[in-house]
Structure 1
Amino acid sequence: MTAKPSRDAGQAPRYWYQDAPVPLHARLLSGLYGRVIALRRWLYRDGRRSRHPGVPVIVVGNITAGGTGKTPLTIALVQRLREQGFTPGVASRGHGRDAAAQARWVDADTDPRLGGDEPLLIAARTGVRVRVDRDRVAAAMALVEAGCDVVVCDDGLQHYRLARDIEIEVIDGRRRYGNGRLLPAGPLREPVERAARCDFHVLNMGDAAGSDPGAEAGEGAGFGQWPMRLRCGQAIPLLGGRPRPLTAFAGQRVHAVAGIGDPERFFAMLRGLGIAVVPHAFADHHDYQAADFEFGSRLPVLMTEKDAVKCAAFRTELHYSVPVDAALPEAFWVALTERIAAR
């Protein structure tokens, strides 16, 4: 029987992002973790242990654990590259797939247990070649052999064996770097100083709510922090059919399901549209079962796209996917294109 999500499912420890004491064991482990990653950075300091696939490599990632909006940005990046005449491909580790799953190509029909939820979503939204492999160098090489002339690495800042030309750090605009401590005492995979070496810093500001991201470019010039808004407006029935505007759910109670790094961001987005949310937070990359949706009341169920790709086997007329699109200032795309050309 599948366990129901608890109130804290999918949530980071309180001391990561709130004013709460950090347990002693977490501080001790954080010190050990810091020494390990420092050694790893030293081993790759001169680039001789890294391999380059021979085409431009763009890495989209973050230095914090959990979701910051990397997947929407990756989708937007791939779509923009295609519009500019490139043939991009996406290399991913495929977090959340079965541990025994082998390297493979991912398309819209791939079992998410074999391909991973985020790679499956990227493939379905963009139609580009997506390769999942624990070895991102091997994934990049496979993409180049398949005809890709740009490799986009989804969530790969810490995978130093893959040499890269451009690094894009994605930052959660609400939570930022939390308490500034390394795992597990805090949310950081690497010290904050590591972020300074990235070429671009994209600040996820959350729901667009009708705003123009270009009006908030502010620090954009000079590769500062570029604002990114997540735009949503429709609910897509999982059984097929005409999309419904999210505004049609305003004033109604709905079950909201999110198994992402920061479920509260999704719930807040729906509340901002006047929807009465009954929240159900699951752990990131949760493997959904039909029993997870036995909520005891027949209300519409709104879920993220990342969750929806794992629910095809038990979808009903009550289930909807809420797609989001990343919107950034046009100046960001111009600066990125110029940087690619320089490579």
Structure 2
Amino acid sequence: MIEKLWYGKNPLFWLLIPFSCLYGLIAYVRRKLYQTGILKSWHSPVPVIIIGNLSVGGNGKTPFAIGLIEALKAKGLKIGIVSRGYGGKADNYPLMLDEHTTTEQAGDEPVLIYQRTQVPVAVSPNRCQAVQILLKHHKLDVILTDDGLQHYALARDIEIVVVDGKRLFGNGWWIPAGPMRERTNRLQSVDLIMINGDSVNNLNKQYPDKTYTMQLAPLYAVNLLTQEKRKLAELHNICAIAGISHPQRFFAMLTAMKADVIKTTSFADHQQFSLSLLANLATNEQTLLMTEKDAVKCRQFALPNWWYLPIDAVIPSAAIDQICWLLANIKSQRE
């Protein structure tokens, strides 16, 4: 329904236009209030990089964040991550993640980032508080925020927008008639535009000095229980599941890799899983294969035939160099 509305044709679109205009007006006024100083933004003592979207979900933001963290760590920088923690319900905020933090507490994406990168991660609806608790416990060079482009209460030094190379911006309208949180003219003010996957678009022509293309590269499949790694071709009778914003991207990738997929099942983004929900989706002779984002919610009750497919973002070295150049300029200006 939403896919057809935002990325195709649906008569409901015209009924939602007034609500979209109201959403756009509120978003515009709110940003102007922060720009003019009527609403105050908090400035972190260390540089803040915002990794966000103009449109709703499924753009590859989290794989990019993980890839950028690893690249900056390789440069010798100490990184911290803050997130809204969507889907998590902690008893208290801000919450510092550790090896015992569950997705029910912190949300799936922060737990995934923490497990993959082992850098300090804090979640809170108030991202300023999340930054403050990170800096209280760690000496950091850079703070990355996973999402938060529209969270203007936290001042930012670098803004990076991740764009789905296939779906781009849909019909271009604000929520709910379209997928947009902000219109595409917002790209004029961001520092980098990262396109997820090849696409035919004009962004490279419009913003040639700040537009790059990354690719998502699947790794070996990993068993949830044993952590055994296998090539995808070694898995047979695959029943694939995905509880992400755009499940078809995952299924299409498996098809492109000629995986032995016999069935696919889609779930809502940030779906909370249970053994009873998943146990009957694959027999003992079949393989239940899921995304890494789904796997972090299933390890406590996983069965022996459950596997997940980690994804790496292959980020152009020129993009990393530009981010490092921006960070160096920020550091020199603050000294």
Residue 171 of structure 1 is aligned with which of 149, 152, 163? 163
Deviation larger for 98-107 or 139-148 = 98-107
Q: How do 1:126-137 residues align onto structure 2 when only pairs under 5 Å count?
A: 126-137=117-128
d(CA) in 1 for partners of 2:161, 2:245: 16
Residue 21 of structure 1 is aligned with which of 11, 34, 38? 11
Identity of aligned residues (%): 39
1:221-250 Cα distance to aligned partner (Å, 9 max, x none): 95332111011131100011420111223x
Residue 44 of structure 1 is aligned with which of 29, 34, 42? 34
**What's the TM-score once normalised by structure 2's chain length?**
0.91
Say if 2:97 and 2:121, in contact at 8 Å, map to a contact too: yes
Equivalence for 2:23: 33
Equivalence for 1:254: 238
Residue 79 of structure 2 is aligned with which of 71, 81, 88? 88
Q: Does residue 1:270 correspond to 2:254, yes or no?
A: yes
Equivalence for 1:71: 62
Q: SS in structure 2 opposite 1:44? A: helix
Say if 2:166 and 2:197, in contact at 8 Å, map to a contact too: yes
Amino acid in the other structure paired with 1:308: A
Q: SS in structure 2 opposite 1:160? A: coil
Q: How do 1:1-343 residues align onto structure 2 when only pairs under 5 Å count?
A: 12-47=2-37, 49-98=40-89, 102-145=93-136, 146-205=138-197, 222-249=208-235, 252-277=236-261, 278-293=263-278, 294-295=280-281, 297-298=283-284, 299-343=286-330
1:167-194 Cα distance to aligned partner (Å, 9 max, x none): 0000000100000110000000111111
Equivalence for 1:209: none
For the structure 1 residues 244 and 117, does the alpha-carbon distance in structure 2 shift closer, same or farther, using more than 3 Å as the test? same
Say if 1:107 and 1:124, in contact at 8 Å, map to a contact too: no
Please state which structure has a larger fraction of its residues in helix. Answer: 2
**What's the TM-score once normalised by structure 1's chain length?**
0.88
Say if 1:202 and 1:226, in contact at 8 Å, map to a contact too: yes
Say if 1:253 and 1:275, in contact at 8 Å, map to a contact too: no
Post-superposition offset of 1:99: 7.0
d(CA) in 2 for partners of 1:337, 1:219: 23
Say if 1:201 and 1:223, in contact at 8 Å, map to a contact too: no
How many positions carry a matched residue from both structures?
Answer: 321
d(CA) in 2 for partners of 1:139, 1:307: 24
Deviation larger for 296-305 or 310-319 = 296-305
d(CA) in 2 for partners of 1:313, 1:143: 28
Q: Could you say what the CA RMSD is over the residues aligned between the two structures, in angstroms? A: 2.0
Unaligned runs of 5+ in 1: 1-7, 207-217
Q: SS in structure 2 opposite 1:95? A: coil
Post-superposition offset of 1:25: 3.5
Post-superposition offset of 1:83: 1.3
Say if 2:57 and 2:245, in contact at 8 Å, map to a contact too: yes
Unaligned runs of 5+ in 2: 199-203, 331-335
For the structure 1 residues 37 and 100, does the alpha-carbon distance in structure 2 shift closer, same or farther, using more than 3 Å as the test? farther
Post-superposition offset of 1:51: 1.0
Say if 1:108 and 1:121, in contact at 8 Å, map to a contact too: no
d(CA) in 2 for partners of 1:121, 1:254: 23
Post-superposition offset of 1:93: 0.6
Post-superposition offset of 1:66: 1.4
Say if 1:110 and 1:120, in contact at 8 Å, map to a contact too: yes
Post-superposition offset of 1:101: 5.4
